[in-house]
Amino acid sequence: MEPTAGTNPELTAFYEAEARKYMRSLRPEHFMEAMPQATQRKITLESFDVIHAKRPEVQCFNELLIQYRRGKRKKLCKVVPDNFVVIHPQPIVSLTNFSLEEQSARPLLVLEYVSKHSERKDYDDNYEKYEEELKVPYYLVFYPDNEEVTLFRLGENGYAAASPNAAGRYAIPELELEAGLLGEWLRFWFRGELLPLPGDLLIERDAAREQRDEERTARKAAEKKAKAAEARATAAEAEIAKLREELAKAKGQP
């Protein structure tokens, strides 16, 4: 299998230095995030953790800088998606950035959460980078303020908005994934099943434990009742035997 990075130490050092330089250039507001974006990011990461457990080659990254060269330009192009997903059989080796020159994998899906409360990114500029330069097959945009979802699919003429399926969700077949609104958030369905969040799993676990305890209590009560009935039956049989013995004696039978 092809390595994902690190085969050329000098090249790796160059990209690491560029990544650190980029981080130092960012304005303070870049590191601030509106609550809707933070909530959706958490939902996405938790959902893809479940997918990764079932399909380890599906790897999701959070605000990881993508660096690449375009044509003969000496200056590197840079973009930081809220989240992006790649499919690769080996773990992606990266410290501060995802450099296309080093990586054998490419982003399959980019996700961004556009809120009026955040001025961290130029989303129009990012759109062009994903479409024209990186040629990312899928670009999913969620507007938490308006509770709107748009999935762009790359075709011969660039991005085109995809239509939802009969369930009102947007399908990404390569990931066996569907995305759609549930309540006020963007949620994900994997192989037709809604991906649970940790809170949901805790509720299910507690409910299962409560049901198990109730069944155990009911079983113990039934066992106690059965033992009591058996004891009464045994006592009744003994009493009947005693009465028969007394009746036989009264009749003068040995």
Q: Which residues pair with 151 in a beta bridge?
A: 140
Q: Which two tokens stand for residue 4?
A: 């994902």
Distance CA 91, CA 21 (A): 26
pLDDT (tens digit per residue) in 137-181: 999 999 999 999 999 999 999 999 999 999 999 999 999 999 999
pLDDT at 2: 45
Give the highest mean pLDDT range of 4-13, 50-59, 211-220: 50-59
Strand ranges for 28-169 from DSSP E? 58-62, 65-68, 77-79, 83-87, 97-99, 107-113, 138-143, 148-155, 158-161
| φ/ψ (deg, to 5) at 73 | -65, 135
pTM of the model: 0.78
Residue with tokens 């028969």: 244
pLDDT (tens digit per residue) in 243-254: 788 778 877 755
| φ/ψ (deg, to 5) at 178 | -130, 145
pLDDT at 4: 55
DSSP H or E run through 53: helix 35-54
Distance CA 111, CA 44 (A): 9
pLDDT (tens digit per residue) in 192-230: 999 999 877 655 565 566 677 677 877 888 888 888 888
Dihedral angle, C-alpha 64, 70, 74, 76, nearest 10 °: -10
